[in-house]
Amino acid sequence: MTRAARAFWLRAPGAGEIRPVTLPEPRADEVLVRSRYSGVSRGTETLVFAGGVPASQYATMRAPFQEGDFPAPVKYGYLSVGEVEQGPADLRGRTVFCLHPHQSAYVVPADAVTVVPDRVPAARAVLAGTVETAVNALWDAAPLVGDQVSVVGGGMVGCAVAALLARFPGVRVELVDTDPARAEVAAALGVDFAAPEAATTGRDLVVHASATGTGLQRCLDLLAPEGTVLELSWYGDRPVQLSLGAAFHSGRLTIRSSQVGMVAPARRGSRSYADRMALALDLLADPAFDALITGRSPFAELPDVLTRLSAGSLPALCHLITYDGE
């Protein structure tokens, strides 16, 4: 049985390290999970790595099973897939997803893990937290059959939203990003692609996930009259400036926020957090989502990986972290 483990800690903004951990003996209602993979959620985790979480949002941004406090030292992360080594009989030997920081093994309550369906590869399952965010966004946005939809920002969340929108009957989806390399990802997801200056206008719905003020402004410019921008971006402590003249009032445009911390109001009375996560994992049976995993590194290299991701020298959507030679 695994007892000693290793965990990634942010020692100080911009400086990470691997630390040893001694695991407790699991109680009857807990599981011991040996990690196989974790995913680096590039946008949020590089914000944390750089120390960019505003003090007013320390409580809101706290991840499940996080240790320490912002800005540092802190143990952070929330995309982990592993195998249950010890726990209730129905979970032992099963591959599970957990919203846990990057760590080689851990003990958590049994109800904190979700079984990964057999048809979903373990490596792809690290995307469950991101697809859960996309599910919640579309519960908020409620697109209609035949809608013309743009997704501005081709990061992990934007691409996950585009992948799900591509399944809606009659919905034409355009992924908009400044990086022309995202065109290949868009093709793999089955959606169109455009640079911001060439993006299609007259859209019924625009989902924003670029985390830039210029991206949000472009979203407004793309809307048809009475259209809606669904805002998914997290800006940290950066201010956002918008021009709300022109068609904003005459076109009766809407900017609406969405955040995964609570189940969307449209489904809050009928779906639990567990239901939402189980749905996300079920949707990951689609191999199109493999396009979101754009690199992999062993766990020992995670401090360097986050340094390079933060500096922009390592391009990525989801960067996969492997454990024990996976």
Instruction: Express each pLDDT in 237-269 by its tens digit.
Output: 778 999 998 889 999 999 999 999 899 999 999
Q: What local confidence, expressed as pLDDT, does residue 6 receive?
A: 97
Helix (H, G, I), strand (E, B) or coil at 39: strand
17 and 100 in a single domain? The answer is yes
CA dist 136 and 259 (Å) reads: 8
Domain contains 202: yes
Q: What local confidence, expressed as pLDDT, does residue 189 receive?
A: 97
Give which of 132, 135, 102 is closest to 33, Cα–Cα.
Answer: 102
Query: Is the model's pLDDT at 324 over the cut of 90?
Result: no
Q: Please report, for the domain that includes residue 290, its CATH number.
A: 3.90.180.10
241 and 305 in a single domain? The answer is no
Domain contains 313: yes
156 and 52 in a single domain? The answer is no
Q: What local confidence, expressed as pLDDT, does residue 60 receive?
A: 86
Domain contains 235: yes
166 and 101 in a single domain? The answer is no
Token pair, residue 259, equals 């955040």
When pLDDT is cut at 50, 70 and 90, the band that residue 325 belongs to is: low
Domain contains 279: no
Q: What local confidence, expressed as pLDDT, does residue 1 receive?
A: 54
189: Cβ contacts below 8 Å, ≥ 6 apart: 159, 162, 163, 166, 175, 288, 291
Q: What local confidence, expressed as pLDDT, does residue 121 receive?
A: 98
In this structure, are residues 224 and 252 in contact, taking their beta carbons and an 8 Å threshold? Answer: no
Express each pLDDT in 21-31 by its tens digit: 999 999 999 99
Q: How many CB atoms lie within 10 A of CB 269?
A: 7
Express each pLDDT in 112-158 by its tens digit: 999 999 999 999 999 999 999 999 999 999 999 999 999 999 999 99
Which DSSP category does 239 fall into?
Answer: -
The CA angle 240-56-39, to the nearest 5 degrees, is: 80
In this structure, are residues 125 and 79 in contact, taking their beta carbons and an 8 Å threshold? Answer: no
When pLDDT is cut at 50, 70 and 90, the band that residue 186 belongs to is: very high
- Torsions phi, psi for 6 (to 5 deg): -130, 140
Express each pLDDT in 296-313 by its tens digit: 999 999 999 999 999 999
Domain span at residue 304 reads 4-117+285-322
When pLDDT is cut at 50, 70 and 90, the band that residue 41 belongs to is: confident
Express each pLDDT in 81-104 by its tens digit: 999 999 999 999 999 999 999 999
Q: What local confidence, expressed as pLDDT, does residue 2 receive?
A: 58
- DSSP line for 90-157: TTTT-EEEE---SBSEEEEEGGGEEEPPTTS-TTGGGGHHHHHHHHHHHHHH---TT-EEEEE--SHH
Q: What local confidence, expressed as pLDDT, does residue 238 receive?
A: 79
Query: Is the model's pLDDT at 326 over the cut of 70?
Result: no
Last residue of a domain, one of 257, 273, 305: 257
How many domains are there within the chain?
2
248 and 143 in a single domain? The answer is yes
224 and 139 in a single domain? The answer is yes
CA dist 126 and 280 (Å) reads: 11
140 and 193 in a single domain? The answer is yes
201 and 97 in a single domain? The answer is no
CA dist 50 and 115 (Å) reads: 33
What's the N-to-C CA distance of the chain in angstroms? Answer: 18
162 and 108 in a single domain? The answer is no
CA dist 296 and 309 (Å) reads: 12
Q: How many CB atoms lie within 10 A of CB 204?
A: 18
